[in-house]
Amino acid sequence: MSTRKISMDSLCVKEYKDQRSTRPHQLPIYATSSFEFDSMEEGIEIFTGKKSGHVYGRYGNPTIDTVSQKLADLEAYGTGLNAYGFLTSSGMSAISTIVLSLLKNGDTILTQGDLYGGTTEVFVKVIANSGIKTLFTDLTDLDATEQILLSNRTVKLLYLETPANPTMRCIDILQISRLAQKYGVYTCVDNTFCTPIIQQPLSHGIDFVIHSTTKYLNGHGNSIAGVIIGHDEKIKKQIWTTLKLLGTTCNPWDAWLINNGLKTLSVRMQRHCENAMSVAQYLETHPAILKVNYNGLPSHPHHDIAKRQMKAFGGMLSFEINGQLSKVIQILNKLKFCSMAPTLGDVDTLVLHPATSSHLNVDKARRETNGISDGLVRLSVGIEDVRDIIQDLEQALR
């Protein structure tokens, strides 16, 4: 008896066999929410951990996993460490996922007062609801930091940005990691400003690195994602479990866009650094500017720390305009070439006023104590012809 063929209606519905005959030169986008098993036995083996394999997009995806590993290899390059990476839906989800993976009710995060405003907010307004406290201090004062670690044994994580957003304050990564190891505390560095091209915290003993890949790693302002990178295998499964259950996973399209951006990362960062140095030197001599925060300038208080742990000085800087908020707004409104946008790390030059945007919801006293005044302007220096950037600043400040 002959077997009946499936109908045309069913043929429309069914997935056809992948016709790939040779390996694609570029990483494909695996736009699928789930993956098929060849048998029940294979599914059981994967779900029980006896065999590795993809099952569901929230648990992992070939595009996402490939880019995650590339980022991990970049951060661990030359260290001899076997690093792993987890792409997340944003830089903020990378922060919340690593914190909730490592800490529990009653634990404390020790961090700095001049964090990115969103990080400060997530610590005090969201993470705090899980019973995890945040203690702010000056992490450049190593003696004071050690006294806190000695007296407060609930501190389980040292979280730092270096250079800080937007003051460009640098923290000695090696000394902080040594302190943390002495007291059995995890360390995590937000390396968004530098990328592994400029700074590799893992090489200085740091446990975890996070990035908002939205910024320099992608570099073109067309994707939002984050990444967590570590090398402690004991914690790897814990992070993955938190990631998949919180649902903070990246998607294959954004992962693919990051991969495209990474191909020019090294050459972009070189140009960003060169341009930022020229702009910083110009601003430092301008009579309307009270202060320039750029680690490449010998006048920056943490210039020597930056020289020790950074291969270059990056594309980010901030400067303080001499005048009231109304004057600052008037000057920024005169910019024609530089764009006003609440992000950084794109190929074009971007201007942000922290007090009225990224740090708007941070306590004003804390903000001003840490050098984030109403006159402070953050500049993400692009890769354009630097003469055009300086010309625009000049006409706005005139």
What pLDDT digit, counting tens, does each position of 234-278 carry? 999 999 999 999 999 999 999 999 999 999 999 999 999 999 999
> Looking at this protein, which amino acid is placed at residue 178?
R
CB environment 151-168: b (16+ within 10 A), e (fewer)? eeeebbbbbbbbbbbbbb
Question: Do the domains at 40-262 and 265-397 have one common CATH topology?
Answer: no
pLDDT in tens, 186-241: 999 999 999 999 999 999 999 999 999 999 999 999 999 999 999 999 999 999 99
pLDDT in tens, 89-124: 999 999 999 999 999 999 999 999 999 989 999 999
pTM of the model: 0.94
Class level of CATH domain 265-397: alpha beta
Element (H, E) at 163: none
Give yes or no for a contact between 300 and 285, defined as CB atoms under 8 angstroms apart.
Answer: no
Share of the chain above pLDDT 90, in %: 89
Give yes or no for a contact between 216 and 25, defined as CB atoms under 8 angstroms apart.
Answer: no
Out of 65, 84, 116, 186, which one is annotated catalytic?
Answer: 116
Beta-carbon contacts of 54 under 8 Å, excluding residues fewer than 6 positions away, are 35, 60, 61, 62
CA 270 to centroid of chain Cα atoms: 19
Residues in the chain: 398
Distance CA 17, CA 290 (A): 65
pLDDT above 90 (res 325): yes
Among this protein's residues, is 363 annotated catalytic?
Answer: no
CB atoms within 10 A of CB 28: 12
Give yes or no for a contact between 347 and 321, defined as CB atoms under 8 angstroms apart.
Answer: no
Out of 215, 268, 367, 378, which one is annotated catalytic?
Answer: 215
Among this protein's residues, is 116 annotated catalytic?
Answer: yes
Would you call 26 exposed, middle or buried from its count of C-beta atoms within 10 A (0-12, 13-18, 19+)?
exposed
Among this protein's residues, is 58 annotated catalytic?
Answer: yes
DSSP per residue over 30-58, as a string?
---SB---SSHHHHHHHHTTSS----BTT
In sequence order, what are the beta bridge partners of 86? 228
Among this protein's residues, is 254 annotated catalytic?
Answer: no
pLDDT above 70 (res 1): no
Beta-carbon contacts of 62 under 8 Å, excluding residues fewer than 6 positions away, are 28, 30, 54
Q: For domain 40-262, which CATH number applies: 3.40.640.10, 3.40.50.300, 3.40.50.1100, 2.40.50.100?
A: 3.40.640.10
The residues spanned by each domain of the chain are 40-262, 265-397
In this structure, the strands spanning 133-137 and 226-230 are: unpaired
Out of 65, 114, 172, 190, which one is annotated catalytic?
Answer: 190
